[in-house]
Structure 1
Amino acid sequence: MRSYETIFVLRPTLDEEAINANIEKFKGIIEKNGGEIVEVDTWGRRKLAYPIKKVNEGFYTLVNFKADSELPKELARNFRISDSVIRHIIVKDEK
């Protein structure tokens, strides 16, 4: 299993309940597909470096996890089809 980290930015118009539901949804995708969550760090609402679709801020979440090489592809697919996610990135942790 390899170590990965993902950061995803959720829309700022979501309420606290919807934000937590989205975080749990993505954690569930990782665990359901054989991954192991190491750490979840919610950074909260922050200003974006540049506007994305006329949105100037978002809710940031960092998730460190271990998984095989197929899981990041499935996770990225779910990020892309989710209307709540503005941006995401998944990188292999080289530590």
Structure 2
Amino acid sequence: MPLYEHVFIARQDLSNAQAEGLIEHFSTVLSDNGGQLVDSEYWGVKTMAYKINKNRKGHYAFLKTDAPATAIHEMERLMRLHDDVMRVLTIKVEEHEGGPSIQMQKKDERDGRRERRDRS
């Protein structure tokens, strides 16, 4: 089955438990349609670059899935209809990276970052 990664932003006025409940809800949608949730991460409340529906912050969640395209389409459809979900991004990947995502790593643990050069 194809591998996908999803990021969604939920409204800021939800509690952390409600935002994590959305992850469980959408994982059951996947499993009901023949897919599975490989991994999920709750990134917490973050400030957005611009307002979405008069919200300046949102609960971010990251999902790694292994599911057929029909299950992904159904999950995305339900995400877009859900009142608490403001934005959804889904990409197809060749393989899932192991370990935590870059958002969950500490700054000093991140690999591949450029060193700042002196501007003199």
Query: What TM-score do the two structures reach when normalised by structure 2?
Result: 0.75
Q: Distance in 2 between matches of 1:44 and 1:74?
A: 25
Runs of 4+ in structure 1 deviating by more than 2 angstroms, as ranges, are none
| 3-state DSSP of counterpart to 2:5 | strand
Contact 2:23 2:40 in 1 (8 A): no
Partner of 2:16: 16
Bigger-Rg structure (1/2):
2
Q: Distance in 2 between matches of 1:59 and 1:16?
A: 8
Partner of 2:51: 51
How much is the aligned-residue C-alpha RMSD, in angstroms?
Answer: 1.1
Structure 1: segments with no counterpart, 5+ residues:
none
Of structures 1 and 2, the one scoring higher in RCO (CA 8 A, sep 6+) is 1
Percent of pairs with identical residues: 32
Partner of 1:83: 83
Query: What TM-score do the two structures reach when normalised by structure 1?
Result: 0.93
Partner of 2:115: none
The alignment covers a number of residue pairs equal to: 95
Structure 2: segments with no counterpart, 5+ residues:
96-120
Q: Distance in 1 between matches of 2:16 and 2:67?
A: 28
Q: Which has the higher strand share?
A: 1
